[in-house]
Each structure stands twice: as C-alpha cells, then as structure tokens.
C-alpha cells in the first residue's frame, strides 16, 4: 500500500473518471481574467493539468514541456490549462519567466481540485492531467507525481487517438457513401 501511494495515484475516491462530464467552475487566470470551461467546450479538446506549485523543479519541468509542445496541441485544436493553488500574481510571474503561452488558473482554496477529486501524493497536492473532449467528457486521465513530463506525451497521444478515430470514421463514411452512389 505504501508503494502504491508513493508512486501510484494515491487515494482516487471521488476522482473524475473517463466518461465523466467536466464540472462547472470559475477561476482567475494569470492575467486576472475569469475562466469558465463551458465557454471553451465545443471549440476543441481541453487539457487540464493540476500541478502542486509554481517554481518547483518538477512543476517547472512539466510547464516547460507543455510550452515546448504547445504548437502540437494547437495544431490539434486543443487548449492547455494548468491549475495549482498558487495565486494570480505567482502564475503571472511563472508564465512570464518561462514564456508559457497557455492559461494558468489560480485555485487558491483548492475548490476545483476537490471538484475533480485530485488526490494527494508524496504528501503534497497531486499531479493529474485530464483530457476533455469538445463535448465536455473526460476521455483520458494521467496521474503521476514523479513523471512530470510524461503528462504532455500522454495528453498528446490521447488527443491524437480521438482525432484519428474520429477522422477514420468520417473518411470511412465518405467512402461508403461514394461507393453507394457509384453502384
């Protein structure tokens, strides 16, 4: 049990699961603007990643990894959103210092973390990434405190799989229609 909570996901009771709808919430971003997930739904996938704290080694590595892959996410139509309990000013400084081109949300009271059911791990708030489809449903979850940069590859792979299966279906439907019309 100790090994599981140190290297695994810890207590996941109440945590959102694949297929769940993203909860409604409202937080301030690093520029003091209000962010509402429902305003982003329908536009493309959302990658919502929870991390422990600005300016810590693992969290900086993770944020810079998302930054370095930002074009790949944008090309897939995805919006990246980081959430921690740091305040707006800390997020602004963190985003400016590391040239982070995505949204950072201040969850100072930890209410949104609780809504998502993000567990604690290694004695601190957890590091969990949720990939949300444009309909607002969770399609992938990756939970690892120690593999900070793997959150990026996991999220990209999940979005690519959805895009491929979606595109594959529409291509197959077009091919079937074309075949039916030509016979």
Cite the active site residues: 59
- Cβ proximity of 137 and 20 under 8 Å: yes
- Cβ proximity of 47 and 22 under 8 Å: no
Helix axes 150-182, 57-68, angle to 10 degrees: 30
153: left (phi over 0), alpha (psi -120 to 50) or beta: alpha
Q: Count Cβ atoms below 10 Å from residue 172 Cβ, excluding itself.
A: 10
Cα separation, 84 vs 113, whole angstroms: 8
């Amino acid at each position: 049990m100790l090994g599981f909570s140190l290297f695994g996901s810890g207590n996941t009771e109440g945590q959102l699961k694949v297929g769940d709808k993203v909860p409604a919430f409202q937080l301030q971003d690093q520029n003091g603007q209000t962010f509402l997930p429902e305003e982003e739904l329908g536009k493309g996938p959302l990658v919502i990643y929870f991390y422990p704290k600005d300016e810590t080694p693992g969290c900086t590595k993770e944020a810079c990894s998302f930054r370095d892959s930002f074009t790949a996410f944008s090309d897939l139509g995805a919006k990246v959103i980081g959430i921690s309990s740091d305040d707006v000013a800390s997020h602004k400084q963190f985003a400016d210092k590391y040239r982070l081109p995505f949204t950072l949300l201040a969850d100072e009271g930890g209410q949104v973390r609780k809504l998502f059911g993000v567990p604690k791990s290694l004695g601190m708030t957890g590091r969990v990434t949720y990939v949300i489809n444009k309909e607002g449903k969770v399609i992938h979850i990756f939970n690892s405190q120690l593999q900070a940069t793997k959150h990026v590859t996991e999220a990209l792979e999940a979005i690519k799989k959805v895009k491929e299966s979606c595109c594959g279906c529409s291509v197959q439907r077009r091919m079937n229609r074309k075949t039916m019309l030509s016979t």
